């Protein structure tokens, strides 16, 4: 990263994301997800359409949704792919209870593979329980088709009413809608993927940014691959009737590469910002104060939650402290190594050391922080103000200030 400091920030961030993409093994992960998706695509769609068919309001919407999905994903190969997928779904609908169970298990395996891949990207050490995985999977399969069906029903109704009322520019509006809708659906799908699947708190703005770049890359891949399929029918000539399989695999690989790159962007925006700050001279000076500040916020939040008998996980700490994710994980590890915290089998953080009898000076020593007067000068919060006031009042006698225990400092 030091060699890239002279580059413009956008270009520097681009190289950083490419490095993280390679470091996290996303090329390999995209291949793994492609094969898993090939097995799971029929079960997932079969379950989704079964959910839609349970609601009379969506009768007759299946074909429209199929057409929209396949056109959104790969227009040039949609015809042949849709034929095979529709046949597979039809066969799945006549399965026995054991067949249906295997379909659900295959679909769940896909979700768990995606989740483990995203947890590696977000550096999340926590694990969801099996029940939580099932609930996440079921809510995604339920809400996705219902939202898609509702949006199509609403749009069909609006266009029908517009035709009755002779609304001008209707054809142009319809053409624009057909062009924009797939992009919006892809954007929403990527956004929900980054919000729901990772086993950690993901900030909405980072998810939106990651989803936007993933959608843009997905559209670029779709245009390029569609052009290749239509102008260079190499796979059709080589594989004949079996050409659909490599086409689907390659397209799934490109799709997952887009999704994983967007995930890297969403996961690394805060970490890259922190890395830039730590590499600047001002932030190097403030790094120890920053660590102390967020360590105190973490201890404060866990102490308050413990008194209210609330469970505390990483995502809760990130929400409460608004700290960068990489710094939070680093500090949690340090606080556990120094016996301030312990982590339960269910990945909940519990206060272990008695902060009523532990001084601030002991905390700074345990965390090996080299604090100096004037270190904290840019954090406009109540807790930081206390530290600034104490440091300025101390005349450089930090040990005297930090002789007070942590509890008195936090809750006075």
Domain identity same for 171 and 258:
yes
pLDDT at 154 over 80: no
Q: Name the nearest CA neighbour of 295 among 349, 357, 346.
A: 349
Domain identity same for 261 and 235:
yes
Q: Distance (Å, rounded) from C-alpha 334 to C-alpha 92?
A: 51
Length of the chain, please? Answer: 412
Question: What is the residue-averaged pLDDT of the chain?
Answer: 71
pLDDT at 257 over 80: yes
Write phi, then psi, for 276 (nearest 5 degrees).
-60, -40
Domain identity same for 367 and 395:
yes
Domain identity same for 181 and 295:
no
Please give the structure tokens belonging to residue 29. Answer: 């992960």
pLDDT of 278 reads 47
pLDDT at 363 over 60: yes
pLDDT at 1 over 60: no
Strand partners, 351: 341
Q: What is the pLDDT of residues 75-124, one digit of tens each?
A: 555 555 556 666 666 665 566 666 667 767 777 777 778 888 888 888 77
Q: Distance (Å, rounded) from C-alpha 362 to C-alpha 22?
A: 40
pLDDT of 229 reads 73
The string over 152-164, giving b where at least 16 C-beta atoms fall within 10 Å of a residue's C-beta and e elsewhere, is beeeeeeeeeeee
pLDDT of 128 reads 66
Domain identity same for 265 and 334:
no
Domain identity same for 259 and 311:
no
Strand partners, 343: 349
Domain that holds residue 20: 2-275
pLDDT of 364 reads 81
Domain identity same for 302 and 214:
no
Strand partners, 405: 359
pLDDT at 350 over 60: yes
Q: What is the pLDDT of residues 276-314, one digit of tens each?
A: 544 443 443 346 777 888 888 888 888 888 777 677 888
Name, of 124-128, 152-156, 273-277, the range with top average pLDDT.
Answer: 124-128
Question: pLDDT category, 217, cuts 50, 70, 90?
Answer: very high
**pTM confidence score:** 0.63
Q: Worst-scoring range by mean pLDDT, 34-38, 220-224, 276-280, 310-314?
A: 276-280
**Could you tell me which residue, 232 or 383, shows the higher pLDDT?**
232
pLDDT of 102 reads 72
* Domain end residue (candidates: 245, 275, 305): 275
Domain identity same for 244 and 306:
no
Q: Distance (Å, rounded) from C-alpha 62 to C-alpha 45?
A: 10
Q: Which residues make Cβ contacts (< 8 Å) with residue 183, sequence separation at least 6?
A: 215, 219
Name, of 37-41, 68-72, 136-140, 182-186, the range with top average pLDDT.
Answer: 182-186
């Amino acid at each position: 990263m030091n060699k890239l400091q002279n580059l413009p920030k956008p270009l520097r961030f681009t190289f950083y994301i490419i490095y993280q993409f390679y470091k996290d093994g996303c090329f390999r992960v995209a291949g793994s997800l492609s094969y898993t998706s090939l097995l799971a695509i029929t079960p997932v769609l079969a379950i989704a359409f079964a959910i839609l068919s349970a609601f009379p309001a969506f009768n007759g919407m299946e074909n429209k949704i199929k057409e929209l999905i396949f056109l959104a994903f790969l227009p040039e190969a949609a015809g042949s792919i849709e034929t095979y997928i529709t046949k597979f779904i039809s066969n799945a609908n006549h399965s026995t209870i054991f067949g249906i169970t295997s379909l659900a298990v295959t679909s769940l395996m896909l979700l768990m593979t995606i989740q483990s891949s995203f947890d590696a990207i977000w550096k999340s050490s926590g694990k969801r329980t099996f029940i939580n995985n099932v609930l996440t999977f079921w809510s995604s399969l339920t809400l996705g088709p219902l939202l898609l069906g509702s949006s199509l029903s609403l749009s069909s109704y609006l266009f029908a009413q517009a035709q009755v009322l002779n609304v001008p520019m209707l054809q142009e509006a319809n053409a624009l809608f057909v062009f924009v809708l797939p992009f919006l659906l892809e954007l929403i799908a990527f956004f929900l993927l980054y919000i729901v699947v990772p086993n950690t708190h993901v900030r909405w703005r980072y998810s939106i940014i990651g989803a936007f770049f993933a959608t843009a890359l997905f559209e670029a891949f779709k245009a390029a691959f569609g052009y290749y399929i239509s102008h260079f029918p190499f796979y059709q000539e080589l594989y004949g009737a079996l050409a659909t399989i490599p086409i689907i695999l390659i397209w799934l690989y490109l799709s997952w590469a887009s999704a994983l790159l967007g995930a890297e962007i969403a996961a690394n925006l805060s970490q890259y910002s922190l890395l830039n700050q730590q590499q600047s001279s001002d932030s190097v000076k403030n790094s120890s104060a920053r660590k102390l500040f967020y360590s105190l916020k973490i201890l404060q939040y866990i102490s308050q939650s413990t008194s209210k008998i609330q469970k505390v996980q990483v995502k809760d700490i990130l929400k409460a402290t608004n700290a960068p994710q990489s710094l939070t994980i680093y500090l949690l590890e340090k606080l556990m190594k120094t016996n301030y915290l312990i982590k339960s089998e269910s990945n909940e953080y519990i206060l272990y050391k008695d902060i009523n009898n532990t001084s601030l000076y002991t905390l700074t020593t345990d965390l090996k922080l080299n604090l100096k007067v004037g270190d904290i000068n840019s954090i406009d919060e109540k807790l930081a103000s206390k530290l600034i006031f104490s440091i300025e009042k101390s005349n450089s006698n930090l040990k005297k200030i930090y002789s007070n225990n942590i509890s008195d400092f936090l809750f006075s």
